[in-house]
Structure 1
Amino acid sequence: MHSWEAFGAGLAVVASIVSNLGVNIQKYSHLSEALRPTAARRPYIRCPVWWSGLALVVLGSLGDFAAFGFATQSLVAALGGGATLVANVVTAQRLNGERLDQTDVGGVLFVIAGVVIIACIAEPNVEYPLPELELRFVRTPFVVYITCVGVCAVSMLATIKGSVANRLKNQVDWSNKRQKKLLKQFDLRVQRLEQRLLDMEVKLLQVSTSASVLPVGLVDPPAMSTDLRELIDSTSAEDADVNGEAVVGKSTSRVPYYYAVCSGIVGAMTVLLAKCSAITIALTLKGDNQFKYGLTYIFLGGMFVCILVQTHFLNMATSSGDIMTVFPIFQACWITFSVVGGAVFYQNDNEPISTTDKVFYPVALLAIALGVGLLVQRSSSSVEAEAGRSCIGNGRMKLSTSDDDRDLLLSADASVYSPLLLAGAHEDDGPHQSV
C-alpha cells in the first residue's frame, strides 16, 4: 500500500466514525420524537437534533469523497465500513442505550473479517479519463450488474409496500385521520348546540325581565365547551398512542432490514459515482479539464441524488428498528455492493480474474453474509412484550375513562339527547311532562 493510499484509508476511517456518530444522533432524535404525544410529533426533517446529526453525516461524506481521490473504491468502502461498525457498537450503547447481544458481537466480527480480507486484496488505484469511464459504464458486465441491482432494489421496495407492518401502519394512520375529522364535526355540533341553548336562555330572560341587563356569563360560551374540547383532544391523543403502540407490538416483520438493504444498495451507487467524480476532479486539478464533458455533471448530480435517497432510506430504517442491528446490515450491503460493483466496473476485458480474487472475494462476501444472518436474528421479544404491556395498560386506562365520560359526551350530543328534555331523560323513555 502506497503512502497516498494509506492516507486515503485513514481518512476513510475517520470520516466513517464521524458519519456514524451523526447517524446515531439522528436515531436519538427519532427516539426523542417518539416520546412526544402523537399530535405533537414532527417529521424528522423538522427536528433540530436530526439536522445536527445530518451535519456530521455530511462532514463524514465529504471525508469519504476526499478519500476516493487517494485510494481505491474497495479499500475505502471496506476500511470505512469496518471502522464504522466498531464505532456503532460503542455509540449505540452509550448514546441510545441499546443492548449488545452475543449474536450482535458475532455478526459484527464476521462482517469485520470480510472487510479485512477485502482490504488486503484491494486492487491498486487507477485514474481513468472521462471517455474511458463512459465506455466502462456501457460494458455488458456492468449493464448486467446494474440491472440485477435495480431488480433487487425494486423487489425490496415492493416487499416493504406489501408487508403486513406497512399495511397496519397505513390503516392506523387512516383511522387516526378519520377520527380527527369526526371529532372536529362533533365539536362543531357541540358549539351549535351551546349556541342554541344560549339563544333560548336569552329569549327567556328578555321575555321575563325585558328591562334588566343580561348577565355577562351568557355572552360567552359556557365553561363546559372548553372542558369538552380538552377532553376530545386528550381522547384523540390517547387513541392514537394506543393504536401506534399496537402496531409496534404486532409488527414482527423485517421492514427496517429491507430499508437498510435499500439504503446500502443506493449507497453503493453513491460510492461508484463519488469515485468517478473524484477522478474527474483530480484529473482537472492536474491540468486535464474534465468539466468540458456533460458526463461530469451527471456524475456529480447523480451522486447528490443518491445521497439524499440513501439518507432517507437509512432514516426510515433507524426510526423503526434498532440501530445496533439495522446499521450493520446497511454497512454490510453497502460494502458488498460497493466491492462487487467496483470489481465489475474496473475489471478489464483482456485481463483474467486472478486466482487470489477468485478465492478471497467469495470468502469475504460469505463472511459478510454470515454476519448479516446473525444480525437479523437479534431477539426483540422483550421489546415486543414491553410494548404489549404498555398497550394493554393504556387500553384498560382508556376503557375506564371512556366509561366515566360516556354520559358527558352523550349528554352534549344533539343526536342522542334533546336539549328540551329534563336532565338525565332520554328521548326513548316516553313522554315527559314539562315543568
Structure 2
Amino acid sequence: MKRWEAFGAGLAVVASVVSNLGVNIQKYSHLSEAALPLRERRPYIRRPVWWVGFALVAFGSLGDFAAFGFATQSLVAALGGGATLVANVITAQFLNGENLYFTDVGGVLFVILGVVIIACIAEPNVEYPLPELETRFVRTPFVVYIVCVAVCAVSMLATIKGSVANRLKNQVYWSNRRQKKLMKQFELRVQRLEHRLLDMESKLVQITNVAVAPGGGASSAASMKQIREIMGANSPGSNEGADGDVEEGDRETRVAYYYAICSGIVGSITVLLAKCSAIMIALTLKGENQFKYGLTYVFLGGIFVCILVQTHFLNMATAMGDIMTVFPIFQACWISFSVVGGAIFYQEDDEPFSTSDKVFYPLALLSISVGVGLLVQHSSSTAADTKGKGGGNTAAKLRTGGNTTSFEDDVDDDDILLSADASMSSPLLPAGSREEEGYLHLTA
C-alpha cells in the first residue's frame, strides 16, 4: 500500500468515527424529544442538539470526501465502515444506554471480517479524466447495476409506505386535523360514561341503604359482595392481546431496517459521486481543469442531494429503532453496495475479474450478510424480554415515534386517533383509572 493510500485509509477511519459520534448524538436528540409531551415535540431540524450531531456528520463526510482523493472507493468504504461499527458499539452503549447482546457482537465481527477481506483485495487507485468517467456511466454493466439498485430502493420505500407502523404514524399525524370530526363521537362516549357512573352511584346507594337497615347484620357480607361485583364488572378485561405487543413491535422494527437499507443504498451512490468529484478536483489541481465540463457540477450537486436523502432516511431509522442494530445494517448496505458499484464501475472491459476477486468478493459479501442476519436478532431478544415482563397487560401496545400507545382489542381507527392527542383523554377520570371504560392514554 502506497503512503498516500495509507494516509487516505487513516483519514477515512477518523472521519467515520467522528460521523458515528454525530449519528449517536442525533439518536440522543430523538430519545430526549420522545420523552416530552406530544404537543411539545419538534421536528428534528428544529432541535439544537440534533444540529450538533449533524455538524459532526458533515465534518466526517468532508473527511471521507478528502479520503477519496488518496485511496480507492472500496478501501475507504471498507475501512471507514469497519471503524465506525466498532465505534458505534461503544458510543451507543455509553451515550444512549442501549443493550449489547452476544448476537450484536457476533454480527459486528462478521461485518468487520467482510470489510477486512475487501480492504485486502481493493483495486488500485486510478484517476480517470471526465470523458472517460462519462463513458463508464453509460456502460451496460453499470446501467444494469443502477437499475437493480433503484428497484431495490423503490421496493423498500413501497414496503415502508404499506406497513402497519407507517399507517399508524400517518393516522397520528393527521389526528389533530380530524379532531372536529371526532368530537361528536368523543362526546357520546363521555355521555355513556356519565350515565354508567350515575347508574353505579344509584346501585351503591341502594346497597348502602340495605346494609344500614335494622337487622341487616346478615346482609352486610352480601352487600360487600354486591359492591365488589359492581366494581369488578368495570375492571379491565383479561390479558388478551399481549402477544400483539411482540408482533406489532417487530413490524415497526422492520420498518427501521427498511429505512436503514434505503439510507445505505443512497449512501453508496454518494460514495461513487464523491469519488468522481474527488478525481475532478485532483486533476484540476494538477493543471487539467475539469470544471469546464457541466458534468462536474452534476457530480457535486448529486452529492449534496444524496447526502440530504441519506441523512433523512438514517434519522428515520434511528428514531424508530435501536441504533445498536440499525446503524450496522446501514453500514453493511453502504459498504456492500459501494464495493459492488465500484467494482462494476471501474472494471476494465479488456480485463475480466480475476479468480481471486471471484472468490473473495462473494466471500466478503457473504460474511457481511451473516453479520446483518445476526444483528437483526437484536429486536427479537428485546421483544422476548418485553413479552416476559408485560404478559399481564390488559392492552396491546404499539410504539409510535418513541412512545407507546395502549389500546383495547375492540377499538377502531378513530379511537387510535384519539389516543394520539393528550387533550382527548377522559375529562372525568384520571389516566390509568380502572373505570375508564376503554379510554385511551399515551404511556411512556
Q: Normalized against structure 1, the TM-score is what?
A: 0.75
For 1:27, the aligned partner's letter is K
> What's the CA shift string for 1:101-153, capped at 9, x where partnerless?
01101100000000000000101100000000000000000000000000000
* Letter aligned with residue 66 of structure 1: A
Q: Secondary structure at the match of 1:252?
A: helix
Shift of 1:166: 1.0
Q: Which AA in structure 2 matches 1:381?
A: A
What one-letter code is carried by the residue in structure 1 that aligns with 2:95? L
Which letter maps to 1:16?
S
Task: Note the C-alpha offset of 1:171.
Answer: 2.4
| CA displacement at 1:251 relative to structure 2 | 3.4
SS at match of 2:348: coil
Tell me what 1:57 maps to. Answer: 57
Aligned counterparts of 1:52 and 1:382: Cα–Cα separation in 2: 35
Deviation per residue, 1:32-81 (Å, 9 max, x gap) = 00000001100011000000000000000000000000000000000000
1:169–1:247: 8 Å Cα contact kept in structure 2?
no
Distance 2:10 2:321 in 1: 30
Amino acid in structure 2 at the alignment position of 1:63: G
Structure 1 residues 404, 34: CA separation in 2 closer, same or farther (over 3 Å shift)?
closer
CA distance in 2, matches of 1:60, 1:180: 47
1:157-236 mapped onto 2 (5 Å cutoff):
157-179=157-179
CA distance in 1, matches of 2:48, 2:325: 25
User: Contact 1:248 / 1:387 at 8 angstroms: preserved in 2?
Assistant: no
The answer to whether the 8 Å contact 1:27/1:96 transfers is yes
Q: Is the 8 A contact 2:245 2:396 kept in 1?
A: no
Q: Does the CA-based 8 Å contact 1:137-1:143 persist in structure 2?
A: yes
What's the C-alpha RMSD, in Å, of the aligned pairs?
2.8
C-alpha displacement of 1:179: 2.8
Q: Provide the residue aligned with 2:358 in structure 1.
A: 358
Counterparts in 2 of 1:380 and 1:304: CA distance versus 1, 3 Å: same
The Cα of 1:168 is off from its aligned counterpart by 2.0
* 1:167 shift after superposition: 1.4
Residue 41 in structure 1 maps to residue 41 in structure 2: yes
Distance 1:391 1:179, change over 3 A: farther
Give the direction of change, closer, same or farther, for the CA distance of 1:180–1:21 in structure 2 (3 Å limit): farther
**Taking structure 1 as reference, are residues 390 and 330 closer, same or farther at Cα in structure 2, changes over 3 Å only?**
farther
Secondary structure of 1:251's partner? helix
Give deviations 1:307-344, integer Å, cap 9, x for gaps: 00000000000000000000000000000000000000
Over 3 Å counting, the alpha-carbon distance change for 1:286 and 1:80 in structure 2 is same
- The structural deviation recorded for 1:377 is 1.4
**Partner Cα distance (1:317, 1:303) in 2:** 21
Q: Against the structure 1 CA distance between its residues 180 and 381, is the aligned structure 2 distance closer, same or farther, given a 3 Å change threshold? A: farther
Corresponding position of 2:248: 250
What whole-Å deviation, never above 9, does each CA across 1:340-382 have from its counterpart, x for those lacking one? 0000000000001111101100000000000001111112216
- Which amino acid is 2:165 matched to? A
* Equivalent residue letter for 1:270: T
Greater Rg over alpha carbons, structure: 1
TM-score by length of 2: 0.73
Counterpart of 1:29?
A: 29
Which residue number in structure 2 is paired with residue 230 of structure 1? Answer: none
1:278 aligned residue: 278
Corresponding residue number in structure 1 for 2:291? 291
Verify the 8 A CA contact 1:74 1:338 in the aligned structure 2: yes
- Cα offset for 1:162? 0.6
Q: In the TM superposition, what are the counterparts of 1:117-128 in structure 2 within 5 Å?
A: 117-128=117-128
Which position in structure 2 is the counterpart of 1:238? Answer: none
What stretches of structure 2 of length at least 5 have no aligned partner?
188-243, 398-405, 409-421, 431-444
Query: Does 2:110 align with 1:135?
Result: no
On the 8 A contact 1:260/1:313 being kept in 2, the answer is yes
Cα separation, 2, equivalents of 1:147 and 1:100? 37
What is the CA–CA distance in structure 1 between the aligned matches of 2:8 and 2:376, rounded to whole Å? 32
Unaligned 5+ segments in structure 1 are 188-245, 406-435
Does 1:381 pair with 2:379? no
Query: Partner of 2:325 in structure 1?
Result: 325
Count of aligned pairs = 347
Deviation at residue 98 of structure 1 after TM alignment: 0.2
For the Cα contact (< 8 Å) 2:65–2:275, is it kept in 1? yes
8 Å CA contact retained: 2:246, 2:384: no
CA-CA distance at 1:183 after TM superposition: 6.1
Kindly provide the amino acid, as one letter, of the partner of residue 280 in structure 1.
Answer: M
C-alpha separation in 1, matches of 2:429 and 2:354: 77
What one-letter code is carried by the residue in structure 1 that aligns with 2:353? I
Please name the residue that 2:14 is paired with.
14
AA aligned to 1:67 is A
Pair 1:318–1:338, CA change in 2 (3 A): same
Tell me the secondary structure at the aligned position of residue 311 of structure 2: helix
1-structure distance, mates of 2:5, 2:425: 67
Which residue of structure 2 aligns with residue 151 of structure 1? 151
Q: Compared with structure 1, are the counterparts of its residues 351 and 41 closer, same or farther at alpha carbon in structure 2 (3 Å cutoff)? A: same
User: For residue 308 of structure 1, what is the aligned residue in structure 2?
Assistant: 308
Mapped partners of 2:60, 2:157: distance in 1: 27
In the TM superposition, what is the alpha-carbon distance from 1:180 to its structure 2 partner? 6.7
- Native 8 Å contact 1:249 1:384 kept in 2: no
